[in-house]
Amino acid sequence: MSKKKADRADRVPFGKLLAWQTRPISLGAVTIIIGYLSMYCTDTLGMPAALVGTILLASKVFDGVTDLFAGWLIDNTNTRWGKARPYELSILGVWICTWALFATPYEWSITAKSIWIFIMYTLIFSIFSTLLNAAETPYIIRAFGDPIAITKVSAYGGILITIGCMVVSVSFPIMVARAGTSVSGWRQMMFMYAVPLALIGLLRMFFVKEDKAPDADKEERVTVKSILAVLKKNKYVWMLGIACACPQLVTGMAAATYYFKVVVGDIGKFSSIQICSMLVLFVMLVFPALMKKFSGMQLVGMGAAVGIVGYIINFFAGSNMVLLVIGFLLAGISALPTSYMRAPINLQLAEYNESLSLPRMESTMGSAVNFVCKIGQGLGSFIIGILLSAASYDGQLAVQPDSAVLMIRLLYSFIPVVFMIIMLLCTKGFMPLDRMSKHGK
């Protein structure tokens, strides 16, 4: 009888699984599109690369406050819609501001452009995305309940997210090539993406309820004091945060957009690479089986090791599409565990909090990790801006100097390798908690 109940507890209906992934697909599309922001600013708006990188990094200063506030807010929310579910409405704000970001008028002064981009970028990531990401962990726990079910949702759902986002990642470079450096072309293109993806992003809120919420009287009210205690005593939160931030930093550099435009000579070919990422889906299919033998952080380390090989291949690939596909696929594997295994790892952290006589605080810890990830993404934008400027890159030139070409190659290869090594070090530092969790089971 108990076995049958357990089987029912970890069962995930396909319809519910599909509905759950709609908002991540929508937000993932934003992440893909934002990857073109630096190129849009330098090549379409005529802004210096170093200035763009500095603006995006400066925006991340707000995330420290907003992330922790969002975690506290959601941990203390209790409405008839649930604890985290109401905050799904933030996806509308994300898309409105994303459209406005890419609708920046060319005629504005550099100062006006800088202020506008700073405000829109801050609203997207420091406010609306912060609320969505902070709500993710408490929502999935209250929507699915069982740890095995959550692992299935994270792994199998990741396949659906990849397929959904692939539509954007494949089509967007083609549309960018058509839009060229036309501001009106970018504005119209963004409207075509923003409206349907915003509507898709709302589906989860309407179809997935928080029907497995713990009893209200069993949940401790989270105070600022308890938040500070967790951030001080639970060092593993920061290890997870740094490990997750490294792929975000590489994504924030968005070196692929420059690589395919300058080194390959055709940004439209980036779509061909994106189509091949379908092969990565087979890796995600084995995640649930691997989770029975390895911890979530061990999978993070495995992904980083594979990523190192992929990025090294990128350096020697040049414009060889076969090598670029292989490098892209191997490098892409490095980001999978940190994207889709974060919820199971967060459960480990919550249990560790309880062992320290602290509240579980899933949302607060998720917010802390998101904060570190956003800093990583901002650093990525800053790094590519500074390094491209130092290498004499000029978006208005038809042919870039050799120094800029070499720098773009390094940004697409050996510089990401450094951050893959940092991920491996975080995995090693997480081992004591993995041993504790294994012993507890």
pLDDT tens per residue across all 441 residues of the chain: 444 444 566 778 889 999 999 999 999 999 899 989 988 998 899 999 889 988 988 887 776 678 778 888 887 888 888 888 999 999 999 999 999 999 999 999 999 999 999 999 999 988 999 899 888 888 888 888 776 787 778 778 878 888 888 899 889 988 988 887 788 899 999 999 999 999 999 999 999 998 776 544 355 566 777 777 887 888 999 999 999 999 999 988 889 989 998 999 988 888 888 777 777 777 777 877 787 788 889 999 999 999 999 999 999 999 999 999 999 999 999 998 888 788 788 888 888 888 888 877 877 787 788 788 888 888 898 899 899 999 999 887 888 999 999 999 999 999 999 999 999 999 999 999 998 877 655
CATH class of domain segment(s) 14-207+221-440: mainly alpha
Q: Tokens 């309940």 map to which residue?
A: 145
- Token output for 118: 């700073």
CA dihedral 428, 430, 431, 435 (to 10 degrees): -170
Cα–Cα separations (whole angstroms), residue 400 to 105, 321, 328, 383, 410: 26, 21, 24, 19, 15
Q: Where are the beta strands (DSSP E) in 245-371?
A: none
Cα–Cα separations (whole angstroms), residue 20 to 153, 172, 200: 8, 24, 11
Question: Where do the structural domains in the chain lie, given as residue ranges?
Answer: 14-207+221-440
CA 204 to chain centroid, in Å, comes to: 18
CA 23 to chain centroid, in Å, comes to: 13
Quote the radius of gyration of the chain (alpha carbons, Å): 21
Q: Which of 205, 211, 277, 207 is nearest to 14 (CA)?
A: 207
Gap between the Cα atoms of 264 and 246, Å rounded: 25
- What secondary structure does DSSP assign to 29-96, as a single string? HHHHHHTTHHHIIIIIS---HHHHHHHHHHHGGGHHHHHHHHHHHHHT--BTTBSSGGGGGHHHHHHH
Cα–Cα separations (whole angstroms), residue 59 to 114, 286, 372, 419, 432: 11, 38, 13, 22, 35
Farthest CA pair distance, the chain: 71
Total Cβ atoms within 10 A of residue 329: 19
Gap between the Cα atoms of 125 and 132, Å rounded: 10
Which tens digit of pLDDT belongs to each residue from 135-181? 888 888 888 877 678 777 877 887 888 888 889 988 998 898 888 77
**Tell me, what's the pLDDT at 344?**
81
